[in-house]
Every structure is written in structure tokens, then in C-alpha cells.
Amino acid sequence: MFNSLNNVTFIWFVLAGCFGAFVTFPLEPNISHSIQTILIIAFLLSLTIFVAKLSSGFVTLFGQKTQSVSASIISNLTRITVFIFGILIILQTVGVKITPILTTLGVGGLAIALAVQDTLSNLFAGLYLIISQQFKTGDYVKLETNQEGYVIDINWRSTTIKDISNNIIIIPNSKLSSVIFTNYHLPVKEVVLRVDLGVGYASNLEYVEQITIEVAKEVMAEIAPELTINEPFIRY
């Protein structure tokens, strides 16, 4: 909330000063009306920016607190929605009839939708991936094309994955929604890592099992100490 106030606070103080000067000094009616309209537009515009930033911040914070999807697509859609309503309120306030504008936007929106089918396909595919909770930011996924890594963002066009080599993989949402992938963080983050070992037929299996478990514990303690509470096991 404080970050949202950083820029608009200065604007509000300036507008308050201008309004005080406007009230103090008498002006001609035409000039007075023009200045009043400009001040109202500036205030409503700054208020729209503040509400857009605040709403976007709350959406991001909610995603982090609930450990649900924290994706820029939701934040951006929230911001765009607030801006649209803010502009319509500004137009209505200054006396512009918004009904013809909404009608024009409806017809124009249909034409634009036909022209940007691929973009809309990616947008709705991204929303579907988020709502269905098939994965979220921070999950480790592996695609059927053998590309794998951590999901770091889902935006209006694509999903960004960072692999273990610190490379970035960008996949269009429409393709990702139709591809087969494995999410290693669902239903829980803990996974079982299978390591195939071969031993001789004459080997003492009890001794092999004992040595293998000891080595596995040493490796786990060295690489991931937080996982030592999980005991390694052997299946023949």
C-alpha cells in the first residue's frame, strides 16, 4: 500500500495546492470551469492509478500468503480492469456519454478479437492453467519434450520456466495447455528418486542392502541435509 502511495501522494498535494489557489482567486466563469474540469480529471486519474497499483499488490500478496498461483497475468488483468473502469468514470464525470463508446468498443472488440486470435488463445490458455491449478510458480515440471525446470512466471502470452542450468525456457500458453507434462510438486513436493543398481548373483543381498543404504544416507546428508528425515529403502 505504501509503495502505491509513493508517486500519487505528491500529485495529490499539488492538486490540493492548485485547488486552494483556484478557490482563493476569483476567475472568469469559462476559465474557472476549465480549471475545475482539469483538476477533477487529474484527481480521478491519479486515484485510478493508485487503486490499480493497490489492487494489483493485494492480488500478488494474496497469492504469496496462500501459496497459490502468483502470476503476472492475474496482476495485469486486475490493473487493466481498474484502468478501464477509471477511464469510464472520468468520461462520465466530465459529461461524456459512455453508452455510444461502449457500443463502439463492443463492435471494435469483436474485430480485434478476430485479428488477434493467437494472442487471445494464449491469454485464455494461461487463465485455464491458473484456474485449474495444474501448476503454479515455483513448481518443478517436466514436459514431454524432455524440457524441465521451475515455473517462474505465467503471463498473458507465455509461461517462463528456468531449468537447472539457469537457462530460460519460454512456452506459449496455448501449446503448454495441450502438452503432456509431469508436475513433481503435486500432490506433494516430496518425490521418490529411483536409482537402479546391479549386483552379482553370488552377492550377499543383506550386506549389499546395508552398504547401499549407508551410502545413500551419506549422499543425502551431503547434498540435501533437510531430507535426512526420509529413510532410503531398497526393493528387489
108-163: pLDDT as tens digits: 665 655 555 677 777 778 777 777 777 888 888 888 888 888 988 887 788 889 98
Are residues 137 and 58 both part of a single domain?
no
Whether 208 is covered by a domain: the verdict is yes
Residue 111 lies in a domain: no
Give yes or no for a contact between 94 and 101, defined as CB atoms under 8 angstroms apart: no
Give the pLDDT confidence score for residue 3 in this predicted structure.
54
**Number of structural domains the chain divides into:** 3
Domain boundary among 81, 98, 115: 98
DSSP letter at 232 equals P
Instruction: Decide if 103 is inside a domain.
Output: no
- Give the predicted TM-score (pTM) of the model: 0.51
Query: Which residue range forms the structural domain that includes residue 203?
Result: 192-236
* Judgement on whether residues 206 and 179 belong to the same structural domain of the protein: no
Is residue 75, in this structure, part of any structural domain at all? yes
Query: Which residue positions in the chain have pLDDT lower than 70?
Result: 1-8, 10, 21-23, 25-27, 29, 62-73, 101-102, 104-117, 190-192, 224, 226-229
Whether residue 115 lies inside any domain: the answer is no
Question: Is there a single domain that holds both residue 142 and residue 93?
Answer: no
The pLDDT value given to residue 130: 75
φ and ψ of 150, to 5 deg: -90, 135
The answer to the question of residue 50 being in a domain is yes
Structure confidence at residue 228 (pLDDT): 60
- Whether 80 is in a domain gets the answer yes
Could you tell me where the DSSP H helices lie in the chain?
Answer: 2-24, 29-65, 72-93, 99-115, 117-132, 173-176, 205-223
